[in-house]
């Protein structure tokens, strides 16, 4: 049971960290910083919609 909880927590933590990395605001100079995104959220959204039938 601890393994399953730890696995699910690790997956959620990884996805959360990628989301925060891609969407964090770096202050006043956020527009000047050109960082590559970890996840292409538009593609992921399209796949999710297609697979869930929404």
Give domain limits for the chain.
2-52
CA distance linking residue 49 with residue 2, whole number of Å? 32
At 1-54, the pLDDT tens digits run 999 999 999 999 999 988 887 777 655 555 556 666 767 778 888 877 888 876
39 to each of 17, 45, 47, 54, how far by Cα in Å? 11, 11, 13, 21
Rounded Cα distance, 33 and 26, in Å: 8
CB 24 within 8 A of CB 38: no
Identify the pLDDT of residue 35: 66
pTM: 0.60
Which residues have a Cβ under 8 Å from the Cβ of 18 and sit 6 or more positions away?
38, 39
């Amino acid at each position: 049971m601890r393994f399953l909880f730890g696995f699910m927590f690790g997956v959620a933590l990884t996805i959360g960290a990628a989301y925060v990395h891609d969407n964090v605001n770096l202050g006043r100079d956020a527009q000047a910083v050109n960082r590559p995104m970890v996840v292409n959220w538009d593609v992921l959204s399209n796949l999710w919609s297609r697979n869930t039938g929404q």
